[in-house]
A and B are shown apart, each in its own frame.
Chain A
Amino acid sequence: MSKRTLVFASVMMVVVLVLAACGQTAPAAPAATQPAPAAQIQRGGDLIMALVTDVGTLNPHLSSNAATMNIFYQGLEPLVWIDPQTKQAKGWLATSWDVSADGKEWTFQLRQGVKFHDGTPFNAAAAKWNFDHLLDPKLQAGAARNFVASVARVEAPAEYTLKLFLKSTDAGLLDSLHYGHIGMICPEAVKQFGDTEFANHFCGTGPYKLKELVAGNHVTFVRNEEYNWAPDWMGHQGPGYLNSITWRFITDDTTRTAVLETGEVNVAVNLPAPDVTRLMANKNLTIMSPMPSGVSQGLYMNVTKWPTDDLVIRQAMAWAADRETFSKVAYFGIWPPTSTTLSPNTLCYSKESEIYRYDPAKAKALLDGAGYKDTNGDGIREKDGKPIKVLFIKEASFLGAELIQSQFRAVGIDVEIQEVSAAGRQDAASKGLHNIMPGGTISGDPSFMNNYFMTGSPLNVAKVSDKELEKLLLDAKAALDVKERCKLFAAVQKRIMENVYHLPLVVSPSTIGTRKEVQGIRFDVTGWFMVLYDTYMQR
């Protein structure tokens, strides 16, 4: 073959590829399915769910991976459950509880007749062992230890009575106790196999139990036929409906979406926003995005570094941010816009803290008033010859930074975007190299805000050190009366917004796709984690 022919051949190949890509046709419309009445629920079926990350260890006391909660909730049961609508605690492995007047002594009555997967009984001694083990400083504990941070010691005065003594009053205790990572595990299994090996001998009280764990690939649970202690807020009694549940780890967004579309998996989490609109049109799929609770996805402002140390500049940015467009373009409207730090579905959310809306004229007036003027005509304002330029450090996963950049530039604030790895982000956050850094949290109780706005907390990316805010946060944590708490948290939210420590942009719900045959998925209060006890496959 001559060289000329070769070149021609390679160019042709490209043309063919282009034509093939353009020739995609819409899939044929699928047959419609009817939802079955509750009486027709049949046992059986194998559910396969695609998760984003490898779950790592299956020992909840060691795990720091939030996504693993989707597994823990099927095999483990915590003491309480938080109702997603009312935000009230309901019993799970505990049936009732009392709290002393000073809020430091909690007494739980535990459910009777509950058995671990290995046949040993669940009682106060086992529950006490769980807390003691998690609080043992020798254990390299994961995220779960944060949930029991306020617990000083634990006692088991009777067979089914558990007493928690707190270091200080913690109104968020019940919320902390509802997470999957603090579900009760078998003391015997840990004693016999050790903490690391427990992952392969996973043992709890839940309606599904471990069949196999293939590291880096999948986890399979099968039905626990003994299970007959479901709390009354669940949809049924007795064992779960499904024969088995398998979680597969599929990191790549496109692949995870594709396996859902082909039906290779029944459920896929974290669907990428660009594909959601297209998937909604697919009659074989149901797309769910339950509104989450927690801190809205937004920008933390470093208040210790110029120019974001100037309140006027932070306020100008809050007026210059067009949240509607940001939500529509960067997140295809799947993540709705918000201008409050607590997302609207959170306990003690206060609408009064909604101070800023999109008003570039107001931003410009504020900057003019403070003496920031564009003197050299480059579109960027300066003061004493120093241009306003903020450094925006973010990970690749945060989308729409260029939109923020153009919106801020429109009022005369320059933005330099720097994309870093997760480790680079942490490093920048601790050293305070950034001016703005995106962030938000999924959580139940608003007390978790203490981690983000208290002096010295490693998660305090805004580098806030505000005595008045700290007092409000601590008082709110100690206020057992919900009305009193919410009043304090309203003041917290107002103070954060007045000082623009955090510039909220969008609410960040999970986007979960299921095949039509999957019914009865229950979400926890954060809207991100699933309880599959009532889940069944429709025939």
Chain B
Amino acid sequence: MVLAFILAAVGLAPVLAPYDPIALNTNEVLALPGARHLMGTDDLGRDVFSRILYGGLLSLSVGVMAVSIAGVSGTLLGLIAGYYNGWIEQVIMRITDVMLAFPGILLAMLVVATLGPSLTNIMIALAFSRAPAYARLVRGSVLAMKQNLFVEAAVVRGCTHNRILFRHILPNVMVPILVVASLDVGVAIIVGASLSFLGLGAQPPTPEWGRMLSDARRFLRVAPWLSMFPGLAIMLTVLAANLVGDGLRTALDPRLRV
């Protein structure tokens, strides 16, 4: 429900936001939260509430897009690795092993450092660093699924590899993918915000939560609301995303059903 609320607020940002998120108003810098500015204004007189709304649009789309790319590419690799044994599996799985050996954020930083700082590159970086997890998960499920009678039946019936993979195996390994993906959105939002916090993501004047937090650091003692609201926004969104993932797992995992 919280997530639905956040999604609605963020989705309607252009309608709901009372001010232009990048319009400067140098006569109203560092205004306290109040009736005119719900969450106050920042050091350049921009409305924090509007920036949070627009920033949410960015943060959420970065999270969702990154996870979608990671999910789709990781799943494909995992399917291939799990279904066709031999050298192709060896190659794919050793590469994922190497990538999983590094902390995700380090890998993402490497990608951004190579491609240059921007939101698009952050998405690519996040997708790149998350994909191995899906590949490994899917490969495991495929290996287990291959032993099932219905797969053998399909082989006997002369189905093509593609048909077996996508019509018979994929639907059966979808559930864990969905659960991991929903939990991953939260992680992706946090890592995306962290990269922007480090100056590797959104470029000024783009409103982005991590970026806003990092800009607000200088004003911690003078204008604490500047860091409070983006921080709260990130926390609540990630919490909501995790709860949804949690709920999805409870609903879909037969072992948890009593």
Chain B nearest CB, measured from A420 CB (Å): 8
At the interface, yes or no: A318 with Cβ under 8 Å from chain B? no
Is there an interface contact between B205 and A254, defined as CB atoms closer than 8 Å?
Answer: no
Asked whether A7 is an interface residue with its Cβ less than 8 Å from the other chain, the reply is yes
A402–B44 touching, CB < 8 Å: yes
Residues of A within 8 A of B232 (CB): 14, 18
Q: Are B221 and A275 in contact (CB under 8 A)?
A: yes
A2 at the interface (CB under 8 A from B): no
Say whether A396 faces chain B, with CB atoms less than 8 Å apart. Answer: yes
**Residues of the B chain whose Cβ atoms lie less than 8 Å from the Cβ of A396:** 199
A34 within 8 A of partner (CB): no
Q: What per-residue 1/0 map shows which CB atoms of B198-237 lie under 8 Å from chain A?
A: 0100011100000000000111111110001000100110
In angstroms, Cα B222 to Cα A49, docked, is 23
A417 is an interface residue with CB less than 8 A from chain B: yes
Residues on B with C-beta less than 8 A from A402 are 22, 24, 44, 204-205
Least CB separation from A22: chain B residue: B224
What are the residues of chain B within 8 A of A406 when measuring CB–CB?
Answer: 23-24
Interface class of chain A by DSSP = helix
Within 8 A of B (CB), among A253-280: 253-254, 257, 272, 274-275, 278
For B, the interface residue count at a CB cutoff of 8 angstroms equals: 28
A418 CA to B116 CA, complexed, in Å? 10
24 interchain pairs (CB within 8 A)? A3-B246, A7-B243, A14-B232, A18-B232, A253-B218, A254-B220, A257-B221, A272-B218, A274-B221, A274-B222, A278-B222, A329-B44, A402-B44, A403-B26, A403-B44, A405-B205, A406-B23, A416-B203, A417-B203, A417-B205, A418-B117, A419-B199, A419-B203, A421-B199
Nearest Cβ in chain B — how far from A496, in angstroms?
28
**Residues from chain A with Cβ under 8 Å of B239 in the complex:** 7, 10
Assembly CA distance A178 to B99 (angstroms): 54
B65 beta carbon closer than 8 Å to chain A: no
Within 401-418 of A, Cβ neighbours of B (below 8 Å) are at: 401-403, 405-406, 416-418
The verdict on A274 contacting B219 (CB below 8 Å), with A329-B44, A402-B44, A403-B26 known, is yes
Q: Which residues of B contact A275 (CB under 8 A)?
A: 221-222
| Given A274-B218, A396-B199, A419-B203, A21-B224 contact (CB < 8 Å) | yes
Across the interface, A418 reaches (CB within 8 A) one of B203, B220, B222, B236, namely B203
Instruction: Tell me whether B133 is interfacial, beta carbon within 8 Å.
Output: no
**Is A236 in contact with chain B by the CB < 8 A criterion?**
no
Q: With an 8 A cutoff between CB atoms, is A153 at the interface? A: no
Task: Report whether B199 and A329 are in contact in the complex, using a CB–CB cutoff of 8 Å.
Answer: no
In the complex, A291→B51 CA distance in Å?
Answer: 37
- From the candidates B22, B218, B228, name the one contacting A18 in the complex (CB within 8 A): B228
A320-349 Cβ-contact flags toward B at 8 Å (1 or 0): 000001001110000000000000000000
Tell me whether B29 is interfacial, beta carbon within 8 Å. Answer: yes
B43 adjacent to chain A (CB < 8 Å): yes
Contact B26–A329 (Cβ < 8 Å)? yes
Closest residue of chain A to B224 (Cβ to Cβ) is A21
Please give the distance in Å from B73's CB to the nearest CB on chain A.
Answer: 29
B203 touches A325 (CB 8 A): no
> Are B217 and A328 touching (Cβ within 8 A)?
no
* Nearest CB in chain B: distance from A24 CB, A: 8
**Complex Cα gap A275–B29 (Å):** 14
In the bound complex, how far is the Cα of B240 from the Cα of A10, in angstroms? 12
- For B29, give its contact among A14, A254, A272, A329 (CB under 8 Å): A329
- A403 engages B24 (CB within 8 Å): yes
Across the interface, do A419 and B117 meet the contact criterion of CB distance under 8 Å?
A: yes
Compute how far the CA of A325 lies from the CA of B228 in the bound complex, rounded to whole angstroms. 27
Q: Are B217 and A325 in contact (CB under 8 A)?
A: no
Q: Are A328 and B26 in contact (CB under 8 A)?
A: yes
Alpha-carbon distance between A75 and B203 when the two chains are bound, in angstroms: 44
Shortest 3 CB-CB contacts between residues of A and residues of B = A402-B205, A274-B222, A406-B24
Interface-centre pick from B26, B44, B224, B246 (highest chain A CB count, 10 A) = B26
> Given the complex, which residues of A lie within 8 Å of B228, measured CB to CB?
18, 21
CA distance A325 to B239 in the complex (A): 41
A254 touches B217 (CB 8 A): yes
Q: How many angstroms between the C-alpha atoms of A272 and B26 in the bound complex? A: 19
